[in-house]
Amino acid sequence: MIGRLNHVAIAVPDLAAARDRYARSLGAQVSAPQALPEHGVRVVFVELPNSKIELMEPLGEASPITGFLEKSPSGGMHHICYEVEDIHAARDRLVAEGARVLGDGNPKTGAHGKPVLFLHPKDFDGCLIEIEQV
């Protein structure tokens, strides 16, 4: 069901500083910042030959990333995103297997303009999983 790894997301306390560090220190190509109010984050993507790293910071106090950074002030890995061919079929299969979909269970538009869903970390060995329709 899952396809290739789309990205690994890292929560950061200062997106501009993290963006600069990846570009300057690692010589990475990094996208311009993008606000995603529906998800409560501002993000940039570090382009890799076979995948991406998403750096994200809270967009307001109500952001789910705010709580994460309160527990880990210097930041850290937040989630892993896998690609799926059909997000509704993937959701239905996962729910039938006992996985919990976060939110209302309906896909939202993600940073790449494609439908995404998040799966409860307690159902996946402590890792928050995002699935994105390709």
Q: Kindly state the greatest CA–CA separation across the chain.
A: 46
Tell me, yes or no, if 47 is annotated catalytic. no
Q: What is the DSSP letter of 101?
A: B
The one catalytic residue in 54, 57, 83, 130 is 130
Please name the residues in contact with 127: beta carbons below 8 A apart, sequence gap of 6 or more.
Answer: 79, 80, 121
Classified as helix, coil or strand, 41 is strand
How far apart are alpha carbons 131 and 127 in whole angstroms?
Answer: 13
Rg (CA), the chain: 15
DSSP-assigned states of every residue in 57-73: EESSTT-HHHHHHHHST
Active site residues: 130
